[in-house]
Amino acid sequence: MDEITFAVLGTGGIGRRALEVSQHKDALTPVAACDRHGVAVDFDGLDVDELLAATEGNIDSEVATDGGTGAATAESGVKQHGEDRGVVASSQARPSEDAIQEIIDRGDRIDAVLLALPNYEHDFIPRTADRFVEGGYSGVMIDVLKRSRVIGMLDERSDAFEDAGVTFICGAGATPGLLTGAAALAAQSFVEVTDVDIWWGVGLKSGYEDNRGTVREDIAHLPEYDIETARGLSESEIEAIIDDHDGVIEFEDMEHADDVLLERAGVCDADDVTVGGVLDVRNDEKPTTTTVRVTGRTFDGETATNTFQLGDETSMEANVNGPALGYLKAGVRRNRAGEYGVFGPADLLPGF
């Protein structure tokens, strides 16, 4: 396919790894990256190696939708680099009061935008999408969101996306994302799906320091927390939670968007989907094998379970960012064919 230009919003763990993985994907050229401190734009292609080296340790490099007033605090984990911090540590970048707007203003030269923005209020990504539509953007937008309730907010904007020429693919990471798509494929053996069980295991190969936003968002799934209370936790409080669990945190019955994404694709009812997993914050090895089990009834009356497993050697970064960029490529194909609106990972296969 023709060359694809794309931008990354957020240079924390997910955004940084997306830039890195893009170098191994054909036809992808990262031309812009931003965080709450600044923006880097080069339509000949960013120097990814320099940008990654300069932003090493820029955890929680958040982007605000309100002109730059992000939610990060003094304990956000963003490290200083000389006189600069965040993406502006790169020689390719400069400070900005509203980095997202600068990306929007150059949207006519950007085919796709990856929103690598965990750990925000539920309507943050939908409101960011609103800004792109209002700014006249027509292209592809991809997110790796996890929360079920956000899907409805995006579906409510489907008509606006269609009118603007935007193809929005939601929940396009690992779970939801890769595992949602695997469940949709596994379901094809059945005339009725009775149960989908997703059980994931993550060992933070790149380290907690590079994944603070992801860990904070996962903590929000523990019974005693929610996204609002997790946002208010200091870094020391999060580290105390990790210590209380000896670095290994188990989650059950999570609010993961796999359920509503499979329901909207017609695979099964959302209530028939369960998601849980184990996060090891201190070790590279996965504490458990990531597995999708789809149980259903075949046309000849048999009940069976189809199982899909990820290799234990694949990292979280590989399983999140590989699919995200694959879905980005698929989204560009749909967009160039004139297909606009909201899509989920069970609606289309990612490009390779």
What is the per-residue pLDDT across 271-315, written as a single tens digit (0 to 9) for each?
999 999 999 998 888 999 999 999 999 999 999 999 999 999 998
The 3-state DSSP class for residue 228 equals helix
Judge whether residue 338 has pLDDT over 80: yes
**pLDDT tens readout for residues 26-51:** 899 999 999 988 999 999 999 999 99
Give me the phi and psi of 200, to 5 degrees please.
Answer: -115, 155
Sign of the C-alpha dihedral computed for residues 251, 214, 346 and 155 taken in this order = positive
For the annotated catalytic residues, the residue numbers are 146, 217, 221
| Residue set of the binding site for NAD(+) | 10-14, 213-214
Crossing angle of helices 316-336 and 13-22, rounded to 10°: 70
Report the CATH number of the 4-175+317-343 domain.
3.40.50.720
Judge whether residue 85 has pLDDT over 80: no
Judge whether residue 83 has pLDDT over 50: no
**pLDDT tens readout for residues 193-208:** 999 999 999 998 666 6
Per-residue confidence (pLDDT) for residue 59, from 0 to 100:
47
Q: Rounded to whole angstroms, how far apart are CA atoms 331 and 323?
A: 12
**pLDDT tens readout for residues 43-76:** 999 999 999 998 876 544 444 444 443 333 333 3
**Confidence (pTM):** 0.89
- Name the residue ranges covered by the structural domains of the chain: 4-175+317-343, 178-312
333: left (phi over 0), alpha (psi -120 to 50) or beta: alpha
CB 58 within 8 A of CB 86: yes
